[in-house]
Amino acid sequence: MASVSGGNPSLTVRNDQIGVVGRSIDDIIAYDKALLANDAAHAMAEEYVAGLSNSDIKIGKKSKLWLF
């Protein structure tokens, strides 16, 4: 069965994702560097993130899932 999305995976059956698609954060950073050409900002952000501990990094999620 052929994909009607042309290979672009959606988040859900009804809600497509918005924004850049990457296999990893490295893909998204490479895209951002190529698009913005702002190496100084990336170097500053990389230095900041390197100084974080795992407990400093937070990942959010919705408290209630969409149920259709």
Residue 49 has pLDDT above 80, yes or no: yes
What pLDDT is recorded for position 14? 60
CB hemisphere CA count around 40 (13 angstroms): 0
Q: Which is higher by pLDDT, 61 or 8?
A: 61
- 44 assigned to some structural domain: yes
Note down the domain range covering 40. 25-52
CB 49 within 8 A of CB 42: no
What pLDDT is recorded for position 54? 87
Residue 31 has pLDDT above 80, yes or no: yes
- 10 assigned to some structural domain: no
The domain tally of the chain equals 1
pTM score over 0.85: no
